[in-house]
């Protein structure tokens, strides 16, 4: 599958799956994101909606560690919307 690229024109990437992490606190948003990504094919995009402000930093660190690229972060009021691209082979945390 063709790898999703970060959008240059400001439009949101097209997600293969959406994950609702609203109301969940660290570490649950990252944990569920990791699981959801495991179920996707390489290059597919996962959209994650979270409300815990800590998720912004945590998701960036998770992306760096795991290799799943954080394509885009949108802020919609209290909500943080992440678009992550499933890596070819994700690094195993820990």
Partner 1 sequence: MANQKEGTEWGVEALHARLETGDEFFVFDVRNEDEFEAWQIEGRRPLPTVNVPYYEMLEVDEFDDVVDSFKAFLGQKWAEKLPRDKAILAVCAKGDTSEFVAEALRRLEFEAFNLAGGTAAWGDHYAIRPVVESEELTILQVSRPARGCLSYVVASGERVVVIDPLRHIDHYLELARERGWKIELVLDTHGHADHISGGPALAAATGAPYHLHPYDGIHPIDVLPARIDYAYLRDGQTFEIGRHRVTAVHVPGHTLGNMAFLLDERYLFTGDSIFIESISRPDLGGHGDTWAPIHFASLRRLLELPDDTLVMPGHFASLAEEGDNGLFAAQLGGLRQRNGGLAMAAGGEEEFVAYILASLPKFPDEYIEIKRVNAGLVEVKEAKASELELGKNICALAQAYGDGESGAN
Catalytic residues, by residue number, are: 26
DSSP 23-54: T--TTHHHHHHHHHHHTSPTT-EEEEEE--TT
Rounded-to-10 torsion of CA 39, 40, 46, 50: 10
Nearest CA-CA partner of 53 in 22, 10, 18: 22
How near is the Cβ of 15 to partner 1 at its closest, in Å? 21
Is position 58 an interface residue for partner 1 (rule: CB under 8 A)? Answer: yes
Contact 68, 94 (CB under 8 A): no
Binding range to partner 1, per CB under 8 A, among 5-13, 15-23, 51-59, 78-86: 51-59
Binding range to partner 1, per CB under 8 A, among 2-10, 15-23, 46-54, 77-85: 46-54
Is position 22 an interface residue for partner 1 (rule: CB under 8 A)? Answer: no
Q: Which residues of the chain form contacts with partner 1 (CB under 8 A)?
A: 25-28, 30-31, 34-35, 38, 52-54, 57-58, 61-62, 65, 93-94
């Amino acid at each position: 599958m063709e790898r999703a690229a970060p959008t240059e024109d400001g439009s949101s990437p097209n997600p293969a799956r959406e994950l609702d992490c609203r109301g969940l606190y660290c570490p649950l948003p990252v944990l569920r994101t990791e699981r959801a990504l495991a179920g996707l094919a390489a290059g597919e995009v996962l959209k994650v909606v979270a409300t815990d402000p800590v998720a912004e930093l945590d998701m960036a660190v998770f992306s760096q560690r795991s290799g799943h690229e954080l394509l885009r972060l949108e802020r919609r009021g209290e909500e943080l919307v992440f678009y992550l691209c499933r890596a070819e082979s994700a690094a195993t945390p820990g």
